[in-house]
Amino acid sequence: MVQIRLLGPQIGVEVSDIDVKTMSEADWNKIYQAWLDHNVMCVRDQDLTIPDFIRYSERFGPVTPHPSKSTRHPEHPKITMLGINKFDAQGKIREEIYRRGAEGWHTDGAYNQAPFKATQLYALAVPSRGGNTMFANGYAAYDALPQRLKERLDGVIGAFSYGGRRGGSKLLNKEDQDWTPVYHPIFRVHPETGRKALYFDPGKIVDFVGIERAEGDELIAELKERMIAPDAEYHHVWRKGDIVIWDNRCSYHRAAGDYPPEEDRIHWRVSINDYGVEALDEAAE
């Protein structure tokens, strides 16, 4: 029988004694609700092929290739390969691969007109130490904001792009470096739970609409300090066979970026959209 237990005081749930390839519809509904309730879900001890992983991921929503073309699986472009080719031809470590995701707290897909609903990773190789992924609750971040900030940012729209204010990224091909900003509310109501979260990514935000740059800088600095609320974190220690999915609509994450570089830390990754967002993206083009 499927087992579900909490991982952190305000975020994270672990699922065990289940095979995602053969689970019943009732078990699927149970774990999907547990994920909605707790933002991040780890399913332990899975043995998956790439088609298995894509098939399971597509139960959450359509899987979309990541903008970083160079890290896509050569035969399965919906899959991003994390931790592969982290040394260059001279044997020097490529920081953009080794420390990918460790640059700071963020949410995936804020640079899209229709942001990613979720991101999901499947662990193929785990280092002997380090390499954790840290998660934090966006609902808790909103709830903990002082009233003056809630009032100041109520209805405010943020402009986001892939490289934020710094511009391009080593992970993007040359032809993909220019990124037109897209616009999202800073306080986002979750379409499935109805709860309000702080939707913020300090590395992707460019400006706030209708707010001067000087005040915007102050707001970014303060939100960066306040986006991780007390007792609202969960740090995941990976095991081989873990599937971890997080809800980008109401959570933040970052990689620790601290494992021994000579060891492997390899994951398959997918980016998952909401159903129907393809039409939104087409309308925005």
The pLDDT of residue 278 is above 70: no
In the predicted structure, residue 281 carries a pLDDT above the cut 50: no
For residue 266, with 0-12 CB atoms within 10 Å meaning exposed, 13-18 middle and 19 or more buried, which class applies?
middle
The answer to whether 138 touches 108, Cβ cutoff 8 Å, is no
Q: What is the pTM of this model?
A: 0.91
pLDDT per residue as tens digits for the range 131-185 = 999 999 999 999 999 999 999 999 999 999 876 666 554 554 455 445 688 999 9
Structure confidence by residue, pLDDT tens digits, 89-111: 898 999 888 888 888 999 999 98
Provide mean pLDDT across the span 19-29.
97
Q: What is the pLDDT of residue 99?
A: 86
What is the set of domains in the chain, with CATH numbers?
Answer: 3-284 (3.60.130.10)
The tokens describing 132, both together, are 């954790």
